[in-house]
């Protein structure tokens, strides 16, 4: 195999000025039985043409390369294609050979690459549904290749293409020029690992840290890590940071890129994304050299993630993307009004008693402080009594442990109702902790409609300092969903906001200050792709609970 530093999507950097290549012989119009039509693409080692068979009229993609090319990838590809034939998303090789100066491969004519489609869309980042479908398909393609003893070793967006109709929802892997068998056909054993410094095979953007930065031997884990970086790239506005300066032109630029890639922490790369992407990247990096990845588990994870966010969960890659279909978490600009009355029945009794005791008569109530104070005190006592009753009932439940068997949505709805009746910070702190536990019950950390409602209720409780003193106040408390509130929100949610919030929460001095942080958290989480609560998010929520206890 060619162990060179040449890679896609980049061409090799060179420290020398001697980049002039020898005079290129022109590619003929006919090669073997094919008439070369338009150029589909060119890579470092050759060009690809749409070509027509002169006898039967069949149309193929003809990959043409000079026989004396220093990186003769066609020569390797023709031995790998037979291993992959028939696998879903694996192109068929129809003919291959050498004619004159030209080495050619005739393969299935396919559609545009993911790179091309994404660039053409002009978007800053890709929608979550499309990335989940790419993840499901690319992981499945890697499983197919790996099951057939082949590593791809050059996973990148340009090497993932869609088929032509009717196969335009299927992602195909192409470019096996750097691919290699990792199971020795004679001994049936995995290729050996080695600590010897070796030339880098792969591409600058997505090749794994182990392979690219540490010169390790590629194995299955590295194909998956490259796929993971590709998914994260698609969900990062302007892409992974080390891709932003373009192809490194000098070895020092390449060294800088390596340094940046090597030191980037998964939690930073995946800030603001559904936690599944960070988990996947960490998983690939923890795999041992010879370990077989759990492909099925991760395909299922990305399917679940898609469905939780209102996408169909089918692996079909539909481009341009369709908006989420059903059960998508509602954005905050949909008013999240409580389903139950603002003042519960038990409290209403206390309120009415309080009002009765005001004994309004003909006296000017507003001027009479004693009446107001006494009524307020009575109302407060009634409310505290009712809360104590509720507290006693609750202590019979397992302390803060969400009951098993109820769905997350039901638990969250119950919790929101309890929170709306909370009368002190200690109760609120307890409910915030319970909220965290419920969200962590299973792998999905999405901010669902019910979870958003909890934050909305919490915000209202915190924002109105009178709420614990005057429960009878039923004026509409400002909600995240209110236009006026949204107008004051920053136009663009910043992905680093949650990281800041987890520090700011420690310094919040009042409930009102906490309310502002909760609102920011809810808004930014809601705006982020996937609406998933990240690790920073959970640390923030724990911080809210701690502050509430301290402010008690
Ligand atoms: N079967 C195909 N059908 C249609 N287009 C194709 C096909 N194979 C490749 N292409 C187009 O040609 C481009 C280059 O293909 P490929 O990556 O196989 O060539 P390469 O010479 O190995 O490139 P590189 O040196 O960049 O890896 C692809 O990005 C794609 O746009």
Residue ranges of the annotated binding site are 63
Residue ranges of the annotated binding site for ATP are 63
Which residue has a Cα nearest atom 31 of ligand 1?
41
Question: Ligand 1 pocket: which of 45, 159, 161, 172 to mutate (most atoms <8 Å of CB)?
Answer: 161
Residues lining ligand 1, Cβ inside 6 A: 8, 40-41, 43-46, 48, 61, 63, 73, 91, 107-110, 113, 158-159, 161, 174-175, 177
Say yes or no: 437 and 506 in one domain: yes
Here the tokens at position 199 are 């030339």
Say yes or no: 83 and 127 in one domain: no
CA 99 to chain centre: 47
CATH number at residue 278: 1.10.510.10
- Determine contact, residues 485/479, Cβ cutoff 8 Å: yes
Q: Where are the beta strands (DSSP E) in 365-496?
A: none
Which residue from 69, 86, 222, 99 is spatially nearest to 153, judged by alpha carbons?
222
Say yes or no: 52 and 176 in one domain: no
Say yes or no: 161 and 282 in one domain: yes
Q: Which of 309, 332, 363 is the last residue of a domain?
A: 309
Which residue has a Cα nearest atom 28 of ligand 1?
41
| Domain assignment present for 74 | yes
Say yes or no: 446 and 519 in one domain: yes
| Domain assignment present for 5 | no
Say yes or no: 203 and 286 in one domain: yes
> What would you report as the CA-atom Rg of the chain, rounded to the nearest whole angstrom?
30
Ligand 1 centroid distance, CA of 46 (Å): 9
- Residue 276, burial from CB neighbour count under 10 angstroms (0-12, 13-18, 19+): buried
- Determine contact, residues 339/414, Cβ cutoff 8 Å: no
Flag whether the ipTM exceeds 0.90: yes
Here the tokens at position 165 are 């109709």
CA distance 434 to 402: 7
| Domain assignment present for 139 | yes
Q: What are residue 41's DSSP bridge partners? A: 48
Please state the domain count of the chain.
3
- Determine contact, residues 2/178, Cβ cutoff 8 Å: yes
Say yes or no: 535 and 514 in one domain: yes
Ligand 1 centroid distance, CA of 497 (Å): 40
Ligand 1 centroid distance, CA of 99 (Å): 20
Say yes or no: 170 and 100 in one domain: no
Ligand 1 centroid distance, CA of 156 (Å): 12
| Domain assignment present for 8 | no
CA distance 355 to 344: 16
Say yes or no: 207 and 279 in one domain: yes
Ligand 1 atom at shortest distance from the alpha carbon of 6: 25
- Determine contact, residues 524/322, Cβ cutoff 8 Å: no
Say yes or no: 97 and 224 in one domain: no
Q: Which of 108, 134, 149 is the last residue of a domain?
A: 108
Ligand 1 atom at shortest distance from the alpha carbon of 154: 27
Ligand 1 atom at shortest distance from the alpha carbon of 177: 22
- Residue 205, burial from CB neighbour count under 10 angstroms (0-12, 13-18, 19+): buried
Ligand 1 atom at shortest distance from the alpha carbon of 48: 12
CATH number at residue 46: 3.30.200.20
Say yes or no: 63 and 129 in one domain: no
| Domain assignment present for 215 | yes
CA distance 266 to 271: 8
Q: Which of 288, 309, 330 is the last residue of a domain?
A: 309
| Domain assignment present for 412 | yes
pTM, to two decimals: 0.64
Range of the domain at 183: 112-309
Catalytic residues: 154
- Print pLDDT tens along the chain (552 aa): 333 333 344 333 333 334 444 566 789 999 999 999 999 998 888 999 999 999 999 999 999 999 999 999 999 999 999 999 999 999 999 999 999 999 999 999 999 999 999 999 999 999 999 999 999 999 999 999 999 999 999 999 999 999 999 999 999 999 999 999 999 999 999 999 998 888 899 999 999 999 999 999 999 999 999 999 999 999 999 999 999 999 999 999 999 999 999 999 999 999 999 999 999 999 999 999 999 999 999 999 999 999 999 999 999 999 999 888 755 554 322 222 333 344 445 555 565 565 555 444 444 334 344 444 565 566 566 666 655 655 555 444 444 455 556 788 888 988 988 888 888 888 999 999 999 999 888 777 888 888 888 898 888 888 865 544 333 333 344 566 444 344 444 444 556 788 888 888 988 888 888 988 998 888 888 777 667 888 888 999 999 999 998 886
Say yes or no: 90 and 210 in one domain: no
| Domain assignment present for 421 | yes
| Domain assignment present for 166 | yes
Number of CB atoms found within 10 A of residue 40's CB: 17
């Amino acid at each position: 195999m060619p162990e060179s530093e040449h890679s896609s999507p980049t061409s090799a950097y060179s420290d020398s000025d001697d980049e002039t290549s020898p005079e290129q012989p022109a590619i003929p119009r006919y090669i073997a039985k094919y008439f070369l039509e338009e150029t589909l693409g060119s890579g470092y080692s050759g060009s690809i043409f749409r070509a027509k068979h002169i006898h039967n009229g069949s149309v193929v993609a003809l990959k043409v390369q000079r026989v004396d090319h220093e990186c003769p990838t066609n020569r390797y590809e023709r031995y790998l294609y037979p291993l992959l034939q028939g696998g879903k998303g694996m192109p068929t090789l129809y003919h291959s050979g050498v004619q004159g100066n030209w080495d050619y491969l005739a393969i299935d004519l396919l559609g545009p690459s993911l790179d091309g489609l994404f660039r053409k869309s002009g978007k800053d980042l890709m929608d979550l549904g499309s990335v989940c479908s790419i993840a499901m398909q690319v992981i499945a393609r890697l499983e197919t290749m790996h099951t057939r003893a082949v590593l791809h070793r050059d996973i990148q967006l340009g090497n993932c293409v869609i088929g032509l109709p009717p196969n335009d929802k299927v992602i195909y892997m192409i470019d096996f020029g750097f691919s290699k068998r990792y199971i020795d056909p004679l001994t049936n054993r995995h290729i050996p690992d080695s600590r010897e410094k070796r030339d880098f095979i792969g591409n600058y953007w997505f090749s794994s840290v182990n392979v690219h930065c540490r010169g390790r031997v590629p194995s299955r884990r590295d194909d998956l890590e490259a796929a993971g970086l590709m998914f994260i790239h698609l969900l990062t506005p302007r892409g992974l940071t080390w891709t932003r300066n373009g192809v490194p032109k000098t070895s020092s630029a390449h060294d800088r890129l390596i340094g940046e890639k090597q030191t980037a922490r998964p939690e930073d790369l995946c800030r603001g994304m559904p936690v599944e992407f960070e988990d996947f990247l960490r998983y690939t990096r923890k795999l041992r050299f010879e370990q077989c990845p759990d492909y099925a588990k991760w395909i299922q994870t990305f399917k679940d993630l898609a469905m939780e966010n209102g996408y169909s969960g089918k692996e079909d890659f539909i481009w341009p993307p369709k908006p989420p279909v059903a059960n998508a978490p509602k954005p905050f600009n949909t008013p999240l009004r409580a389903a139950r009355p603002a003042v519960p029945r038990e409290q209403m009794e206390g309120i009415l008693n309080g009002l009765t005791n005001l004994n309004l008569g003909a006296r000017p109530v507003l001027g009479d402080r004693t009446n107001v104070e006494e009524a307020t005190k009575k109302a407060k006592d009634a409310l505290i009594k009712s809360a104590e009753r509720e507290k006693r009932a609750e202590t019979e439940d397992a302390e803060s442990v969400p009951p098993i068997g109820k769905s997350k949505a039901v638990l969250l709805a119950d919790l929101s109702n309890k929170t709306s009746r909370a009368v002190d910070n200690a109760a609120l702190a307890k409910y915030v902790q319970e909220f965290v536990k419920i969200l962590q019950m299973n792998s999905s950390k999405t901010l669902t409609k019910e979870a958003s409602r909890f934050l909305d209720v919490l915000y209202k409780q915190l924002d109105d300092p009178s709420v614990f003193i005057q429960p009878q106040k039923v004026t509409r408390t400002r909600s995240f969903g209110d236009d006026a509130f949204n107008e004051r929100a920053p136009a663009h949610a910043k992905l680093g906001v949650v990281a800041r919030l987890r520090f700011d929460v420690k310094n919040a001095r009042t409930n009102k200050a906490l309310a502002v942080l909760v609102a920011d958290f809810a808004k930014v989480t809601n705006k982020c792709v996937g609406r998933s609560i990240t690790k920073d998010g959970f640390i923030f929520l724990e911080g809210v609970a701690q502050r509430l206890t301290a402010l008690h």
